[in-house]
Homo-oligomer: A and B are copies of this chain.
Amino acid sequence: MSIQAPRRRRSTAPGDETRERILDAAEHLFAERGYSNVSTRDIAEAARSNAAAAHYHFGSKEAVLEAVFERRLAGMNAERERLLAACLAEADGRPSVEAILEAFIGPTLRLGATEEGRRFNLLAGRSSTDPNPEVRRIVFQVYDSVGRRFVDAAAAACPDLSREELFWRIACVYGAMMYIRADNGRLQHLFGPGFSLSDGEGALKFAMPFLTAGLAAPPVEGTE
């Protein structure tokens, strides 16, 4: 018997502020420590609130994570889908690899320009390989639609690739993108200070061309 979604009814319900503070605190902590290493008490404390408040507003810890994702992604995923659709329409069904990569990856890498954007990227990157079933469920759900459109657009941009080769190339693109967002600090450790995966500009300038080159390379099959 949990409360599902009370949401606002008055113009500015007092609870909205608490709700937002809980989301902020949860996003911060989940990004920093990972879903499984954060308790609802940690969130309550960071939000200067009570452990029961999160359950009142969201129903469960899992639902808090879901709300964190939805708050940041609802708008951005819609934009990405729009950009991808535009690529396909404009280019008469054969978009350029650059254009679709820019449409899919650009918006997320540009999040790195703000502090809270970097924090969400960290959360998203780390969640992408989180084995916790609750996290997986949310990640699958929240990226499903835009993911499908990206695969379709990539297939249209690379008509010479077999389905299998497309699968592997997209895996590389996804992997690079997620690793950059997750920024675990290991590469800084190897390269020394002055290099950071959280630098959105660097990612756009240097990682995008790498991925474009890889995705646009001639197919392996049939070239030998």
CB within 8 Å of B: which residues of A? 32-34, 36-37, 125-126, 128-132, 136, 139-140, 143-144, 147-148, 151, 163-165, 167-180, 182, 184-187, 189-191, 195, 197, 202-203, 205-207, 209-211, 213-215, 217, 220
Given A129-B182, A129-B184, A164-B202, verify A172-B211 contact (CB < 8 Å): yes
Q: List 23 A-B contacts (CB under 8 A).
A: A33-B131, A34-B130, A129-B129, A139-B184, A139-B186, A164-B206, A167-B187, A167-B191, A168-B202, A168-B206, A169-B206, A169-B207, A171-B179, A172-B180, A174-B187, A175-B177, A175-B178, A175-B180, A176-B176, A176-B179, A206-B220, A213-B213, A214-B214
Which residues of the partner chain B approach A136 to less than 8 Å between Cβ atoms? 184-185
